[in-house]
């Protein structure tokens, strides 16, 4: 089979290697994505010889001034327009059991193909003039693409034991492409799952985030659970799994519920951190689960407990300890608030408080809460979603009227101290909070004059004397 090389950059590279009598092939994801009809901006090229030397030749011919060289790995990378091209020499690899860093030796092109993780990633196209565009597929990767099957070029026990990260990559591809992992490969992952412990957290979370961003992330998380990997990677999520019964009373499986919420929210957002908020929204339920004879199963305070767990989980998973983490923490803490609103009469005061507490994230919070409705009762589901629509309309209406979002009360602590000629003390905080609550409760508008008058009144009630 011959594949037309419509990519102008590959055509130029083919001409250049012909001039220098160099043998080279494009391999891996770029070739796979041609058949999947997916756009790819990353090109991997294997040459017989030095990848670094080939990169230098190509860069000089194309006028590329920025080339990154990784001499330890024998690779080089350059950017041409918006395309990233990596060059490597054909090699064979062997592994020490306690490390996923291979011992690398020069090898044949077949050696390089067989070391690849999956048959669909071992597909290659010749860049050589005598067979330009020929598809080289010794492991029937095209057949596996047609069958939507993930198989390894060699014994999967060897593939996954040598480089345990490939186990999560298999699950990531299964989730992204909605492929099935071959039975022998799936069993090999189960047999080698404990070896994931030798892989760095940074490499693991990179793959997990790609699972989170896939079209239907639950596929990946269900496979992580089925293969035993989840217990080593994310035991806090696994702790939500299962149903307990007391006096024939059970609760829903919070693990499955979480995955449904994640899938639901993925229909409406590609924001990685909002999807993480969906994953963690009920994470505190395992620690707060209690049974009471009259009430049944309860999870009181799971929102606050979950919010406290977010920083420790982010740190453990090597996720960022910055505003992204604080955003997820905020979503987890507030995720019950809109639900309580749809169960009661929606008042302007409650809406103001929601807007004030959620700030710029109020719309994201509503998206999370809508995804959190997983009832199989169609009437109940429709009622909740319609009520959320009413809340959204009310938020817009109140925000336009009162400008509460990210509100700074018109009276500051400094103004209070100056007016009453007092030092920082409890009374200052009490007056500020009372003014804020009066605005949120609609007692006074969010304006300086009304807030100033209330400040004077509150100060008088506390026995403070003004300078007037």
Question: Domains of the chain: which residue ranges?
Answer: 8-147, 154-233, 413-461
What local confidence, expressed as pLDDT, does residue 468 receive? Answer: 61
Within 10 A of 253 (CB to CB), how many other CB atoms are there?
Answer: 14
CA quadruple 14, 15, 20, 23: dihedral, nearest 10: 20
What local confidence, expressed as pLDDT, does residue 141 receive? Answer: 96
- In this structure, what token pair is assigned to residue 57? 């030749």
| CATH of 8-147 among 3.40.30.120, 3.10.580.10, 3.40.50.1820, 3.30.460.10 | 3.30.460.10
Run of H or E residues at 27: strand 24-27
pLDDT string in tens for the chain (468-residue length) = 888 888 889 999 999 999 999 999 999 999 999 999 998 889 999 999 999 999 999 999 988 878 888 887 789 999 888 889 999 999 876 666 666 566 667 788 999 999 899 999 999 999 999 999 999 999 999 999 999 999 999 999 999 988 999 999 999 999 999 999 999 999 999 999 999 999 999 999 999 999 999 999 999 999 999 999 999 999 999 999 988 888 777 788 999 999 999 999 999 999 999 999 999 999 999 999 998 888 888 899 999 999 999 999 999 999 999 999 999 999 999 999 887 776 666 778 888 888 888 888 999 999 999 999 888 888 888 888 888 888 888 888 888 777 777 677 788 999 999 888 889 999 999 998 899 888 888 888 888 898 999 999 999 888 888 766
What local confidence, expressed as pLDDT, does residue 39 receive? Answer: 87
What local confidence, expressed as pLDDT, does residue 45 receive? Answer: 95
Fold of 154-233: Hydrophobic Seed Protein (1.10.110)
Closest CA to 10 of 88, 77, 83: 83
What local confidence, expressed as pLDDT, does residue 98 receive? Answer: 64
Q: Are 96 and 103 in contact (CB under 8 A)?
A: yes
Whole-angstrom distance, CA of residue 66 vs CA of residue 105: 27
Whole-angstrom distance, CA of residue 394 vs CA of residue 349: 11
Sort 371 into a burial class: Cβ within 10 Å, 0-12 / 13-18 / 19+.
buried
Run of H or E residues at 13: helix 8-19
Within 10 A of 49 (CB to CB), how many other CB atoms are there?
Answer: 13
Q: Are 263 and 287 in contact (CB under 8 A)?
A: no
Closest CA to 212 of 319, 134, 118, 348: 319
Sort 2 into a burial class: Cβ within 10 Å, 0-12 / 13-18 / 19+.
exposed
> Would you call 253 helix, strand, or coil by DSSP?
coil
- 123-151: buried (b, 16+ CB within 10 Å) or exposed (e) per residue? bbbbbbeeebbbbbbebbbbebbeeebbb
DSSP-derived letter for residue 433 is H
Q: Note the helical H segments in 289-347.
A: 302-316, 323-334, 337-342
Run of H or E residues at 417: helix 413-420
Sort 340 into a burial class: Cβ within 10 Å, 0-12 / 13-18 / 19+.
exposed
Whole-angstrom distance, CA of residue 420 vs CA of residue 74: 72
- 53-88: buried (b, 16+ CB within 10 Å) or exposed (e) per residue? ebbbbbbeeeeeeebebeeeebbbbbebeebebbbb
What local confidence, expressed as pLDDT, does residue 104 receive? Answer: 65
Whole-angstrom distance, CA of residue 336 vs CA of residue 354: 11
Paired strand residues for 126: 25
Number of H-type helices and E-type strands within the chain: 24, 15
Whole-angstrom distance, CA of residue 181 vs CA of residue 166: 12
Whole-angstrom distance, CA of residue 378 vs CA of residue 391: 20
Whole-angstrom distance, CA of residue 455 vs CA of residue 409: 11
């Amino acid at each position: 089979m011959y594949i037309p090389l419509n990519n102008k950059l590959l055509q130029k590279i083919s001409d250049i290697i012909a001039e220098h009598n160099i043998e080279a092939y494009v391999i891996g994801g770029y070739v796979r994505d041609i058949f999947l009809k997916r756009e790819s901006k990353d090109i991997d090229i294997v040459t017989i010889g030095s990848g670094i030397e080939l990169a230098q030749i190509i860069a000089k011919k194309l006028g590329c001034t920025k080339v990154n060289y990784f001499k330890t790995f024998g690779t080089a990378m350059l950017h041409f327009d918006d395309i990233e091209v990596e060059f490597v020499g054909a090699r064979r690899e062997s592994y020490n059991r306690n490390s996923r860093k291979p011992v690398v030796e020069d090898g044949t092109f077949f050696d390089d193909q067989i070391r690849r993780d999956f048959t669909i990633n071992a597909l290659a196209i010749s860049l050589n003039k005598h067979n330009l565009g020929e598809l080289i597929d010794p492991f029937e990767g095209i057949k596996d693409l047609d069958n939507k099957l993930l198989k390894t070029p060699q014994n999967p026990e060897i593939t996954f034991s040598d480089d345990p990260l490939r186990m999560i990559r298999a699950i990531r591809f299964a989730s992204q492409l909605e492929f099935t992992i071959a039975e022998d490969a799936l069993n090999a992952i189960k047999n080698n799952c404990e070896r994931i412990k030798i892989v760095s957290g940074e490499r693991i979370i990179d793959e997990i985030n790609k699972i989170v961003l896939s079209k239907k992330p639950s596929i990946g998380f269900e496979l992580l659970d089925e293969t035993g990997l989840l217990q080593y990677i994310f035991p806090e999520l696994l702790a939500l799994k299962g149903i307990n019964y007391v006096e024939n009373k059970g609760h829903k499986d919070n693990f499955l519920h979480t995955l449904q919420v994640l899938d639901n929210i993925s229909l409406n957002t590609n924001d990685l951190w909002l999807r993480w908020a969906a994953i963690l929204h009920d994470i505190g339920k395992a620690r707060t689960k209690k049974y009471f004879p009259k009430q049944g199963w309860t999870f009181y305070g799971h929102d606050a407990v979950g919010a406290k767990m977010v920083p420790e989980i982010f740190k453990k998973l090597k996720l960022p300890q910055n505003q992204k983490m604080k955003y997820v923490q905020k979503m987890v803490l507030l995720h019950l608030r809109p639900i309580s609103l749809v169960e009661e009469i929606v008042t302007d005061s409650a809406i103001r408080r929601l807007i004030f507490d959620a700030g710029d994230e109020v719309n994201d919070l509503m998206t999370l809460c809508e995804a959190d409705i997983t009832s199989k009762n169609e009437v109940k589901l429709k009622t909740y979603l319609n009520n959320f629509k009413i809340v959204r309309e009310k938020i817009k209406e109140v925000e336009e009227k009162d400008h509460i979002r990210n509100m700074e009360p018109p009276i500051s602590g400094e103004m209070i101290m100056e007016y009453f000629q007092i030092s920082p003390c409890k009374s200052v905080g009490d007056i500020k909070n009372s003014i804020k609550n009066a605005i949120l409760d609609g007692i006074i508008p969010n304006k300086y004059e009304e807030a100033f008058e209330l400040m004077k009144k509150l100060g008088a009630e506390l026995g403070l004397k003004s300078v007037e």
